[in-house]
Chain A
Amino acid sequence: MTTSGLIVMLISVGIVVSLFSWCIWKVLTTPNETEKIHGVDFHTPDMDADS
């Protein structure tokens, strides 16, 4: 592994770990944020309408 390869790896891994950690910190420290953020929420309103 060359020095430039090591730098590319450390920067890439460092950025994604920092970004993911920052997002978790932000979600957990912002009031009511856990209720406001969503991914693919599998419970969609059409499920209720059809039940």
Chain B
Amino acid sequence: MAVAGSAVGLGNFLRFPGLAAQYGGGAFMLAYAISFLIIGLPIGWAEWAMGRYAGSRGYNSCPGAFAAILNKRWAKYVGIIGVIVPVVIYMYYVFIESWCLGYAVKFWSGGVHLTSADQAVDMFKAMSGQSADGAALTFSWDAALPWLLIVFVFNFWLIYRGLSGGIEKMCNYGMPLLIVLALVVLARVMTLGAPDPAKPHDNVVNGLGYMWNPSKVQIERTQPAPGEKALVQELVGAAAIADAEKQIAASGGTLKLVTITPWQQLKNPLLWMAAAAQIFFSLSVGFGVIIVYASYLRKKDDVVLSGLTASSANEFCEVALGGLITVPAAVAFLGLASVAGQGTFGLGFTVLPLVFAKMPLGAFFGGAFFFMLFLAAITSSISMLQPGIAFLEEVMNVGRKVSVTILGLLTTLGTVFVVYFTSSLKALDTLDFWVGTFLIFILATIQIIVFGWHWGIERGFKEAHQGASIRIPAFFGVIMKWICPVFLLVIFTLTVLTSLFGFDLSTFSFGSASSYVLDLIGGVKDGTPVPTNQAAQLSVALVLIVFFFFGLLSARSKAYKRAEQGLPKHD
């Protein structure tokens, strides 16, 4: 239960359905399943094996592990990514965690009375402080600040006091509770049918269809005006399509029915990047977390089955629970239009509260759902602190309490930064992209290359199989050596070129860059000048400052000098 509990987090119940809704369902699921098989499982096993090896040499941090495995001076600087990622993600993860706690208490205390989408948006804006920078720092029970203080102090209290037994008990009891709660909510959602008889198309079956149908059917304008989108409406279900055909026949040729096959959708590199990033986020692969926890294991421990069990528990919660609850419920109560194109936060914190508000016993189910999210999040956020703690212990040669104190100060500053720049959640969004997607992708790629090419598959498997009751199937050797790194490099290159810098593969010319780039350097988008964004620039500066600080500490570390020379940390 502890294995499963620590693996399950916000990614399962919030990020996954949000991305599936954003990228249109079934095709995303195909990319997701392939990503799980060729990157999630293999890189997870690689991290477990490399972490345990580093631990056997006395190194418990990601930079230490890289230095111990590669025996190169530069290796520790690459390994710093494995400290930056969890520490920076923690800075905004606790903010989201506080929304979950706030929403759970609000539902259970009967404080949610939503009747329109605007009210749901306003409730989320008040909680997240999106109206203006600094708005989230107002002390009100409708805002995040009091919940954030509770969550932040609770996290560090647990980790500072070393209450591991308490956390493990929380996993042992919390995980079954979480699954039971999810199953109760799932049973309620599956029996919703069509809640509004006046809108028979808005039903659970169509919600499942939106989530899982591989092909998309939509109404498009035949000749959209400049600046107008071609897409008018997405459709699911035979009855909705029949109605749409009548609407198109009456439109006089201005509208058309378009079917987008899964193969057409799978040509979008951003969809693959999103699917891969979700696998990383969900399984904590490429985070620098697994490598640290694996470093505390012994040779007789089973890292192969450990990795598989943690991954399968995660996938169970994500696909069998998260994939069947959120989107179908939202479609049933609010219709397809309210769900289509919604991101993680839109779906989780505006659409779902409205769904619960409209549901019989909604206060109970809403509170249960958000409390379940909070439980899932807390073990994940605590696990994100250990890479930073282990790193500071190693480079500064200090004990755990000093290390926790320093990391507490650092993450407090970072979280205050994220919580201050809440206008359009710019700081959170920027950090989530550049660290929570971009850097994770880079670290995971480096890890699998180190495992498959520096160690080689034979040695890698030998390390992984020590103490294991099952063996990694032989075909994963080909996946880990060739398919996984090539896949990651191709997706990464295509995404950077096409989505970040607007490169058009058909004309071989550059168009408008992504907002993530324009926020940093400014530019022109669709003929309109786009100024730089101070919050986004400061967010990237924050990451660079932390990187510089960690780099400075690493450069002076005596432990890492021994690792570079191929020596264990202690004689």
- A interface residue numbers (CB < 8 A to B): 1-2, 4-6, 8-9, 12-13, 16-17, 19-20, 22-24, 26-27, 30, 33, 36-47, 49-51
Apart from A1-B208, A19-B312, A22-B312, what are 12 other A-B pairs with CB-CB below 8 Å? Answer: A1-B236, A8-B212, A12-B319, A13-B319, A13-B324, A16-B320, A20-B316, A26-B305, A36-B305, A36-B467, A41-B164, A50-B400
A6 to B205, alpha carbons, bound, how many Å?
A: 10
- Pick the contact of A42: B168, B212, B309 (CB < 8 A): B168
Pair A39/B2 contact, Cβ less than 8 Å: yes
Interface of B (DSSP majority class): helix
Pair B467/A5 contact, Cβ less than 8 Å: no
Most chain B beta-carbon neighbours within 10 Å: one of A6, A26, A44, A45: A44
The yes or no answer to B429 lying at the interface (CB within 8 A) is no
A39 to B51, alpha carbons, bound, how many Å?
A: 13
Pair A17/B302 contact, Cβ less than 8 Å: no
Contacts of B467 in A (CB 8 A): 36
Contacts of B296 in A (CB 8 A): 41, 44-45
Pair A1/B209 contact, Cβ less than 8 Å: yes
Pair B297/A20 contact, Cβ less than 8 Å: no
Contacts of B520 in A (CB 8 A): none
12 CB < 8 A contacts A-B: A2-B213, A8-B26, A13-B320, A16-B312, A16-B316, A17-B316, A33-B302, A38-B293, A38-B297, A42-B167, A43-B168, A51-B162
The yes or no answer to B546 lying at the interface (CB within 8 A) is no
Most chain A beta-carbon neighbours within 10 Å: one of B26, B205, B237, B309: B309
Known A-B contacts A13-B324, A39-B6; A50 and B301 likewise in contact (beta carbons under 8 Å): no
Contacts of B379 in A (CB 8 A): 40
Contact residues of B between 180 and 237, Cβ < 8 Å to A? 205-206, 208-209, 211-215, 236-237
Interface of A (DSSP majority class): helix
The yes or no answer to B382 lying at the interface (CB within 8 A) is yes
- Pick the contact of A12: B3, B323, B399 (CB < 8 A): B323
Pair A27/B309 contact, Cβ less than 8 Å: yes
Most chain B beta-carbon neighbours within 10 Å: one of A22, A33, A50: A50
Pair B209/A37 contact, Cβ less than 8 Å: no
Contact residues of B between 382 and 422, Cβ < 8 Å to A? 382-383, 386, 389-390, 393, 399-401
The yes or no answer to B300 lying at the interface (CB within 8 A) is yes
- Pick the contact of A43: B164, B209, B302 (CB < 8 A): B164
Closest to A3 in B: B213
The yes or no answer to B38 lying at the interface (CB within 8 A) is no
Pair A23/B308 contact, Cβ less than 8 Å: yes
- Pick the contact of A40: B213, B305, B324, B383 (CB < 8 A): B383
Pair A49/B316 contact, Cβ less than 8 Å: no
Known A-B contacts A19-B312, A50-B401; A42 and B4 likewise in contact (beta carbons under 8 Å): no
Contacts of B543 in A (CB 8 A): none
User: In angstroms, how far is the closest chain A Cβ from the Cβ of B242?
Assistant: 14
Most chain A beta-carbon neighbours within 10 Å: one of B212, B297, B310: B212
Closest to B32 in A: A12
A22 to B312, alpha carbons, bound, how many Å?
A: 9
Pair A6/B212 contact, Cβ less than 8 Å: yes
Contacts of A30 in B (CB 8 A): 305, 469
Contact with A along B284-310 (1 / 0, CB 8 A): 100001000100110011100110111
A5 to B212, alpha carbons, bound, how many Å?
A: 5
Closest to A24 in B: B309
Contacts of A33 in B (CB 8 A): 302, 305, 469
The yes or no answer to B315 lying at the interface (CB within 8 A) is yes
Pair A50/B293 contact, Cβ less than 8 Å: no
Pair A44/B386 contact, Cβ less than 8 Å: yes
